[in-house]
Amino acid sequence: MTGPHGAAFSGRVGWGASPALVVVDMVRAYTEPDGPFALPDPGPALAACVELVEAARAGARPVLWTQVRYAANLSDGGLFVRKVPALAAFADGADGDWGAIAAPLAPAAGDVVVTKQYASAFAGTSAAATLHARRVDTVVVCGVSTSGCVRATATDALTHGFAPQVVGAACADRTPALHSANLADLDAKYADVVEVAEAVERLRGR
């Protein structure tokens, strides 16, 4: 992917030998039309995530899912829930079960489901330790939203020593402009943005 950043930002992190798939917040709050964070067109990204999960299973690669969850009184939400009040939809006991993984996706036995309170899958969670323990060196990132939790997760993956591969077509955001701009910036600075077909082949072990 090219962008306006120039030749100074032309490197690639590349693929390691042991990838894992990280499915970021692909939950009902974003995919259902009446969800508190409903996206205008989550269908294509959801379908691409399904394809990636199938490939990871076929290649016996680890799959890590993230969900946002807060205490009923939001006491563990810090300033994030003050900044984004709609996050109260993820509190224990809230109506709608908006934090449930969106169908037809579903974690399987042996997958890791990480509960988080902030944007990144790595912020205050066991994700990094879990992946390092399984000798993972590359994380394939998909989910929502591109400018939010996907971006934060990919950036933190690099910080934690994983090679981030963001599957652009398996992510979604509120507008095409937000989606495209964040993919371009990620590709320039923090991750490699890749196509679904490339990620599928790598996850399958080809």
Strands ordered across the beta sheet of 138-144 = 112-116, 63-68, 19-24, 138-144, 163-172, 192-194
Euclidean distance between CA atoms 130 and 63, whole angstroms: 11
Residue 118 DSSP one-character state:
S
* H or E element in which residue 167 lies: strand 163-172
Residue 72 DSSP one-character state:
T
CA angle 20, 30, 199 (to 5 degrees): 25
CA angle 76, 81, 84 (to 5 degrees): 160
Q: Which of 41, 28, 39 minimizes the C-alpha distance to 89? A: 28
Q: HSE (CB half, 13 Å, CA atoms) of 25?
A: 30
Active site residue 149: yes
Euclidean distance between CA atoms 139 and 25, whole angstroms: 15
Q: Which two tokens stand for residue 135?
A: 């000798």
**Which residues have a catalytic role annotated?**
149
